[in-house]
Structure 1
Amino acid sequence: MGAQERAGGLPRLVVFGEALTDMVRTGPDSWRSVAGGACWNVARVAARLGAPTGWGGAVSRDLFGEEIVALSREAGLDLRFLQVVERAPLVAMVHALSPPRYFFLGNDTADLAFDPSLLPAGWERACAFAHFGCISLVRQPLGARLLAIAEALHAAGVPISFDPNWRNLMGDDYPALFERLAALATVVKLSDEDLRHIYPALEPEEAIAHVRGLAPAATLLYTQGVEGITACQGDTCMRQPAFRVEVVDTVGAGDACIGGYLASLLQRPEASLGEHVRFAAAAAAAACTRAGAHAPTAAEVQALLDASA
């Protein structure tokens, strides 16, 4: 159980979307399984950084699902939001890493069976932020369920965080869905890669201006890997350089960035935009120091912040 579950309270942050198993090719005839999924990664990061968090999603009742459940418990996620179902696991076959190349297996997998009616009573009233993104929004019927949740929360005044986290499942009709979610959001996190795929005909500056026009009151976090983060809020835009670390890999860095930002926002509401973005950049850098989608601890992030002070 997560800390807030043991205490009986409900989490202030709920992240909705997929968890999956990456089958990573390690040789001509060898593969390694790694628990992952962008939305689950975001939830795990926020929880490990101290923000009471629930991950709303479904996993399979097998060794792959059991690993996700175990890692969720270890991170301190509220397990009342996690559903275990009798379906096959969602699997991503990652057959190359540089650049990443992958495809997904499964047309009737566990993630699609997520049932919002099984969420704990009163969770919406306790929710101070909800996060959505990645392939969960384009895998039906799951995507329609999550969009309905996002719209209902927005109508109730609950802030929405959105990270498109573009993947090759997103077709030519995706920009319309992206814009629908972006218009609901209080926080939009976008990478340079996301922008290239969603708005291929626009220059980055034009695309950013267009997104800001969709949600003028939202905070936009634009990430560019080693070039750092540009954060825009109202009339203010600021630049946060990337922290210099020994990079093992960059898997999950974007998830750690938005997970770190949300954790900082919820735990330090009085802090400035610059302080939140600096914390997010440190979380992203800490994730890069370990293999796979590492969810850094608060101590790891603080060490980077102290070292660069």
Structure 2
Amino acid sequence: MTDVLTLGETMGAFRAAGPFRLGGTAELTVAGAESNVAIGLARLGHAVRWTGVTGADEIGSLVRRTLLAEGVDIAAARITPDASTGLVLFEPRTADITRVLYHRRSSAGSTLSTEDVRRAFDLGVPRVVHVTGITPALSGTALAAVTEAIGLGREAGSAVSLDVNFRSKLWSATEAAEVIRPLLAGVDVLIASDDELPIAGDHRVPEVVVKHGADGATVRTPDGSWSAAAHRVTVADTTGAGDAFVAGYLSGLLDGLDAEERLRRGTAVAAFAVATPGDWQGLPARTDLDLLDLHSGSTVR
């Protein structure tokens, strides 16, 4: 059985030691909000399927190889010879501010379609369908794919989660709201940061999870509201922290944890993510979670 199906664009990611205009070295890896969540869930022991489109190029091979190595099912992913895999560039501008530059216009990932989603469902109905507000901004076919995933998930009895994940370089907040708000009628779990909640508007989603960054997270359900503090760790890179939180929260949902415990698992997974450079490299295995209970500076022998 598939625990989670997620869909979206995963790109080649270059991480530079300084501004790109000055040249120098850069590390090549991969990045994408939905695949970050997929990797996080897979490391926690869940069966995860990712569907998306990569180009018939070396970067696409890197994306597929990385996801396979992390235990993510990519049987429903598609390779197209008609477009290139997108790229994302990360450059540090201060000690704690990173600028993100995209090269993804007309990319392979933007050609995601309803056929891709149906193929993923044909391989097995997931317990949870997870989508983000990034994918609908990529193209009309990508928006249709997200709509199809939500609809098929509802029909099949899957829980549907949506992380707003607003990207100002893809569209305006007004444009995002016009697209995302109609989708919420089919969503069971809405996830957003404080500044993204206005995009969702006056929603009626049963479960609303709000990420507060260093201040933790809260959740509101028909049974009440709960909060969880963030874990205090030495921060190396906040990129991907929100996706890490989502992976932990959905893991708790799959394991039948109560709302407060779901939050705690989310903040725990996010703590590991921010303590290591990269979008997903620091994501923990399930056996790692108890390490946060140790005193600072402890060594596990």
Both proteins in one fold, TM over 0.5 = yes
TM range, smaller chain: 0.7 to 0.9
Letter in 1 for 2:58: L
- Written as runs of structure 1 = structure 2, the 5 A alignment for 1:102-117 is 102-117=100-115
Partners of 1:121 and 1:15 in 2: CA distance: 11
Letter in 2 for 1:282: A
Shift in CA distance, 121/158, structure 1 to aligned 2, threshold 3 Å: closer
- Counterpart check, 1:16 vs 2:16: no
1:231 is displaced (CA, Å) by 1.2
SS of the aligned residue for 2:14 comes to strand
1:74 is displaced (CA, Å) by 1.7
Partners of 1:120 and 1:164 in 2: CA distance: 22
In structure 1, the residue matched to 2:268 is 282
Native 8 Å contact 1:184 1:215 kept in 2: no
In structure 1, runs of 5+ residues without a counterpart are 1-9, 200-209
In structure 2, the residue matched to 1:3 is none
Letter in 2 for 1:241: A
- Counterpart check, 1:93 vs 2:93: no
Native 8 Å contact 1:135 1:170 kept in 2: no
| Aligned length in residues | 282
In structure 2, the residue matched to 1:187 is 189
In structure 1, the residue matched to 2:157 is 157
Deviations 1:260-299 (A, max 9, x none): 1112211x22x21111111111011111121101232212
1:77 is displaced (CA, Å) by 0.8
Native 8 Å contact 1:130 1:159 kept in 2: yes
SS of the aligned residue for 1:92 comes to strand
Partners of 2:218 and 2:46 in 1: CA distance: 24
Native 8 Å contact 1:17 1:134 kept in 2: no
Partners of 1:133 and 1:120 in 2: CA distance: 17
- Determine which of 271, 280, 288 is the counterpart of 1:300: 288
Shift in CA distance, 105/179, structure 1 to aligned 2, threshold 3 Å: same
In structure 2, the residue matched to 1:251 is 239
SS of the aligned residue for 2:186 comes to coil
Q: Percent identity?
A: 23
Partners of 2:293 and 2:187 in 1: CA distance: 28
In structure 1, the residue matched to 2:126 is 127
Normalised to the residue count of structure 2, the TM-score between the two structures is 0.85
Partners of 2:165 and 2:228 in 1: CA distance: 20
Partners of 1:49 and 1:164 in 2: CA distance: 23
In structure 2, the residue matched to 1:72 is 67
Partners of 1:260 and 1:165 in 2: CA distance: 16
Native 8 Å contact 2:9 2:32 kept in 1: yes
- Counterpart check, 1:41 vs 2:36: yes
In structure 2, the residue matched to 1:225 is 213
Shift in CA distance, 304/81, structure 1 to aligned 2, threshold 3 Å: farther
Partners of 1:11 and 1:85 in 2: CA distance: 25
1:239 is displaced (CA, Å) by 1.4
In structure 2, the residue matched to 1:170 is 171
Letter in 2 for 1:164: V
1:55 is displaced (CA, Å) by 0.7
In structure 1, the residue matched to 2:51 is 56
Partners of 2:133 and 2:40 in 1: CA distance: 16
Native 8 Å contact 2:34 2:131 kept in 1: yes
Letter in 2 for 1:112: S
SS of the aligned residue for 2:15 comes to strand
In structure 2, the residue matched to 1:207 is none
Shift in CA distance, 13/121, structure 1 to aligned 2, threshold 3 Å: closer
SS of the aligned residue for 1:103 comes to strand
1:162 is displaced (CA, Å) by 0.4
Letter in 2 for 1:190: A
Letter in 2 for 1:77: V
Partners of 2:72 and 2:160 in 1: CA distance: 19
Native 8 Å contact 2:7 2:34 kept in 1: yes
> Cα RMSD over matched residues?
2.3
1:96 is displaced (CA, Å) by 4.4
Partners of 1:307 and 1:158 in 2: CA distance: 40
1:34 is displaced (CA, Å) by 3.0
Shift in CA distance, 280/62, structure 1 to aligned 2, threshold 3 Å: same
Letter in 1 for 2:186: L
Partners of 1:170 and 1:154 in 2: CA distance: 27
1:75 is displaced (CA, Å) by 1.4
